[in-house]
Amino acid sequence: MFNKDAENANIKTAETIIGPSIKVKGNFHGQGNIIIEGEVEGGVKTENNLLIGDKAKIKANIEAKEAKIGGDITGNIKVDGYLEITASAKINGEIEAALLSVEKGATINGKCTMGRAEKIIAEKK
């Protein structure tokens, strides 16, 4: 999902971009791609893809179809498909994903649940 070409495509098709100088308090729910580089306190939910930058600070529960996460996250993360956690990520909260990749250097404090891939694949048939 998040090779360089796909990442650039996500940036071009992002419905919501929260830049590095932006601080947001509140819940938001979108259907398109979301990119967060700033600070969010509340809740984040998208029916599509989520990209959280290396310097982002998030205090929120997160839900997305697929996600690539860096930065400092306090809250639970639920991803229906593939979740990529980068080396810069510091996560305090529960993680639920069908498929998970964690780069060396990432910090996770919380319960991690995987293996919903079979259920998702069965639903798509």
Query: What is the sign of the dihedral through the CA atoms of 98, 55, 103 and 60?
Result: negative
- Spans in the chain with pLDDT lower than 50: 1-6, 8-9
Give residue-wise pLDDT tens across range 11-32. Answer: 567 888 899 999 999 998 889 9
Give 86's DSSP letter: -
Count of positions (residues) in the chain = 125
**Residue closest to 121 by CA, chosen among 95, 87, 93, 82:** 82
Residue type (1 letter), 101: S
